[in-house]
Structure 1
Amino acid sequence: MPDLDQQLEFGIFPSPSAARIPELLGVVQVAEVEGLDLVSVQDHPYQDGFLDTWTLLSVLGARTTTIRLAPNVASLPLRPPVVLAKAAASLDLLTDGRVELGLGAGAFWDAIVAAGGPRRTPGEAVDALTEAVELIKAFWAGGTLRFRGEHYQAHGLHAGPVPAHNIPIWLGAYKPRMLRLTGRLADAWVPSMGYADPPDLAALAAVVDEAALAAGRPPAAVRRIYNINGRFGGGSGFLQGSPAQWAEQLAELSLSVGMTTYILGTDDPGVVRRYAAEVAPATRELVQAERARRATAPHEGTADAAPTAPEPDAGGSVSVRGSAGARHTVEPTPDDGTRLSPTMPWDEPSRPVGPDGEAGPHPEQAQHLKDIHDGLRDELQQVRDVLEQVRRGHVSVGAARSVINTMTMRQNNWTLGAYCESYCRIVTGHHTLEDRSVFPHLRHSEPGLEPVLDRLEEEHQVIHDVLEEFDRALVRLVTEDGTGRRGEAVLDGVQESLDLLTDTLLSHLAYEERELIGPLSRHGLS
């Protein structure tokens, strides 16, 4: 199945080792502050060196605020569906809707039997999984539950609680019958490297798609999750090279097979940081660029497939009509003038304005700029949310905080610093791309835009300086005494730095969109 045009997501798959608990908790913390989407944990209750999966997920849910949690995948023969449904719903409520549920029909049957579970034939295992999916979904709907199956039953059970959101069910599947079950009932298909390597994925995905269509579901109803492993180095194999090579290989899977979520097996926080800061954004950029190209390229053999010439709209937006007459408009993000800081490091009324001009044939490039900016705005809001949590923590514990609260507070502070360090890299990388590539192209293509581009480059440097001051304030927060009035003063300094970053970045992004959406639609990004 080709690209399903879904948002890409990235996560990790750490080892649930009972001998390395601090390292395990630390790598999950890094994954969250670096902006990854998912952490998933294998489930082998008979493995004496592993922590219990649901206990671990509960602790991770309490120590994180944004990253989603999932067993990958739960060993169904040792997890009664009703108990599993209640555990997942409970954790979903406790984490504000951050739980997903991976299910497996069973493997390592000798170990399962040793733990008191049943031994099932392959056919029985698939039948039991089918019943379990139906029973779990019925449980989450609430009410009085009656279910009679060969493997599982419920007789007038008062089901509940209802989870905070519709919990997606993943199925690990490789054989035809399991693949068909996935297409018919599941929300996600989760193969793993080693069991299904990249050359195998297209054929397996085709079975899932056919089953989904036969059940009256679009193939996109089943998300494609891939458990991956690799190393950063100089190799030429799959996920054996540089982060840029990783990005190219993962983008190819997304565009050719429809894989949308990549979960990396690693316990190394350094690898997690590179994966989040380099591989994930580069993969998204490659996929987004190819999707934009495909959206505007003429379809082979179709004379009227190309979009018609773009039309200018009032208010500075850029519109284009497709072959079916639908109009797509790119609107600059408005700036309402709200400022959190008493002064700004630049004079906003003196900003130059570029020349008027007709819209051009590249509205998708203007939208691409806005999409990147929207991502920066979202990340900025997350930084503000994290700082607010730290501030609330200081106010709640006061000068008499206990040793445990002190350690928690320090962890929150370091979490904030690590998160913002990652965010600063993203902002700086975006501005560097503009300064070294996009801006020279626009200078050459539209000379009258030069004063605007000069001003934007000047503002990039100002924002860089604001980011540096914010970083220094974070260092003071994590290295100086955080109690009493001194602690409040340090926090106030961080808040002031963050407020100035908010003002400058949001003002700059709005100005840049207002001035560049038109030129980008005319001349593209390169």
Structure 2
Amino acid sequence: MSDYERPLSFGVSLEPSAIAWPLTRFLARRAEDVGLDYIAVQDHPYQPGHLEAWTLISHLSALTDRISFLTDVADLQLRPPVMFAKAAVSLGVLTQGRVQLGVGGGGIPDATASMGGPARRGQDMVAYAEESLGLLRTALAGGAVRLDSPYHSIGGYQAGPVPPKPVGVWLGAQKPKMLALAGRGADGWISPLNIYVPPQEVPSRQRIIDEAAVEAGRDPKDLRRVYNVTGAIGSLGAHRTGRGLVGDVRQWVDTFTEWTVELGFDTFVSWPAADPERQLALFTDEIVPSVRERVHAERSGR
């Protein structure tokens, strides 16, 4: 695997907790103040303690002026693609383009079904996701949207408005068929957390994406590659289990640099496992600028 040499960007995932939403709001403002690129919000509306992701993003977008928002990732089984596109372009207009969409085919079918959605699995889920992805991207770009299929019946919707900046659609995937779909039909790939897709498994997944992109006549370098990273910076007692990336600032900087120039990621979203305020400060003050410097030096020295 190699570096795709795309510009680096960094974000933080904020918990959509109904109990802890004042902290989430505070952290959103901090993320903007310190210059992060993205606030990411997970989409598990069937969790009774979670706020609905799009409602939370809309609320937080009104409290910020610069930082962009990312659904990480939205369940396409619960969000009809044309209506989801309408919501995204609407918020894109209202925020001057601070919206990106991470979407997934629906990784927990029974939970989706508990809210009235279809419990699609396997090839049925992949086929639905592919069709939904195409509709979503068409509707985001404006123009007429028409399709009559077993999954969708759309009779010529005139899409719009068109936001001031394009809304990217990045596909969350980890299995071969969905990875191939990311390569041929999405604007990028969002990897699940590093505890679910560990670094040693990334090259094989990147190859699937690249091969599908080339087969579809696309340049693999045009696709965004996002890694969701959980763990702990420093020695916090809450991280005794050692899950994810656990180490001091130097280890995080070394690791992120390696994951950029050797694994091909260009965007890192931090998912603090505990003490999010302190972890956010360490991430933004010490890790992000050092990784940018190291990656620039690596690229310049080739």
Q: Which of the five TM-score ranges fits, normalised by the shorter chain? A: over 0.9
Q: CA RMSD in A?
A: 1.5
Can you list the C-alpha shifts for 1:255-292, whole angstroms capped at 9, x where unaligned? Answer: 00110100011261121111011000111111111111
The aligned counterpart of 1:125 is: 125
Distance of 1:245 and 1:228 partners within structure 2: 14
Can you list the C-alpha shifts for 1:168-227, whole angstroms capped at 9, x where unaligned? Answer: 111111111111110001111011212201111111111111111111111111111000
The aligned counterpart of 2:109 is: 109
Change (3 A) 1:196 1:58: same
Bigger Rg, which one: 1
The aligned counterpart of 1:24 is: 24
The aligned counterpart of 1:195 is: 196
Distance of 2:231 and 2:185 partners within structure 1: 31
Distance of 1:237 and 1:117 partners within structure 2: 32
Match of 1:262 among 242, 263, 268: 268
The aligned counterpart of 1:76 is: 76
The aligned counterpart of 1:6 is: 6
Tell me if 1:290 matches 2:271: no
The aligned counterpart of 1:278 is: 286
The aligned counterpart of 1:327 is: none
The aligned counterpart of 1:241 is: 247
CA drift of 1:237 comes to 8.6
> Contact 1:104/1:171 (CA < 8 Å) preserved in 2?
yes
Change (3 A) 1:237 1:173: closer
Can you list the C-alpha shifts for 1:214-257, whole angstroms capped at 9, x where unaligned? Answer: 11111111111000011122599963111121010010010001
> Contact 1:226/1:263 (CA < 8 Å) preserved in 2?
yes
Superposition map of 1:162-177 within 5 A: 162-177=162-177
> Contact 2:91/2:99 (CA < 8 Å) preserved in 1?
yes
> Contact 1:174/1:191 (CA < 8 Å) preserved in 2?
yes
The aligned counterpart of 2:224 is: 223
Change (3 A) 1:12 1:209: same
TM-score normalised to structure 2 length: 0.94
Distance of 2:271 and 2:261 partners within structure 1: 22
> Contact 1:12/1:31 (CA < 8 Å) preserved in 2?
yes
Can you list the C-alpha shifts for 1:290-320, whole angstroms capped at 9, x where unaligned? Answer: 11111xxxxxxxxxxxxxxxxxxxxxxxxxx
Which has the larger helix fraction?
Answer: 1
Q: Helix, strand or coil for the counterpart of 1:55?
A: helix
> Contact 1:128/1:152 (CA < 8 Å) preserved in 2?
no
Superposition map of 1:327-366 within 5 A: none
Tell me if 1:213 matches 2:214: yes
> 1:260 is matched by which residue type in structure 2?
D
Distance of 1:271 and 1:138 partners within structure 2: 39
Which has the larger strand fraction?
Answer: 2
Q: Name structure 1 gaps, 5 residues minimum.
A: 295-526
Distance of 2:104 and 2:216 partners within structure 1: 21
CA drift of 1:166 comes to 1.5
> Contact 2:142/2:158 (CA < 8 Å) preserved in 1?
yes
TM-score normalised to structure 1 length: 0.54
The aligned counterpart of 1:159 is: 159
> 1:220 is matched by which residue type in structure 2?
K
CA drift of 1:150 comes to 2.4
Q: Helix, strand or coil for the counterpart of 2:254?
A: helix
Change (3 A) 1:285 1:173: same
> Contact 1:89/1:164 (CA < 8 Å) preserved in 2?
no
Match of 2:259 among 212, 230, 253: 253
> Contact 1:81/1:136 (CA < 8 Å) preserved in 2?
yes
Distance of 2:103 and 2:35 partners within structure 1: 26
> Contact 1:187/1:222 (CA < 8 Å) preserved in 2?
yes
> 1:129 is matched by which residue type in structure 2?
A
> Contact 1:238/1:249 (CA < 8 Å) preserved in 2?
no
Percent of residue pairs identical: 41
Distance of 2:179 and 2:134 partners within structure 1: 16
> 1:83 is matched by which residue type in structure 2?
M
The aligned counterpart of 1:469 is: none
> Contact 1:244/1:282 (CA < 8 Å) preserved in 2?
no
Q: Helix, strand or coil for the counterpart of 1:126?
A: helix
CA drift of 1:142 comes to 2.4
CA drift of 1:164 comes to 2.4
Can you list the C-alpha shifts for 1:47-93, whole angstroms capped at 9, x where unaligned? Answer: 11111111111111111111110110001111111110001110111
The aligned counterpart of 1:48 is: 48
> 2:22 is matched by which residue type in structure 1?
P
Q: Helix, strand or coil for the counterpart of 1:231?
A: strand
CA drift of 1:143 comes to 3.1
> 2:264 is matched by which residue type in structure 1?
G
Change (3 A) 1:7 1:143: closer
Distance of 2:267 and 2:69 partners within structure 1: 14
Q: Helix, strand or coil for the counterpart of 1:228?
A: strand
Superposition map of 1:28-39 within 5 A: 28-39=28-39
Q: Name structure 2 gaps, 5 residues minimum.
A: none
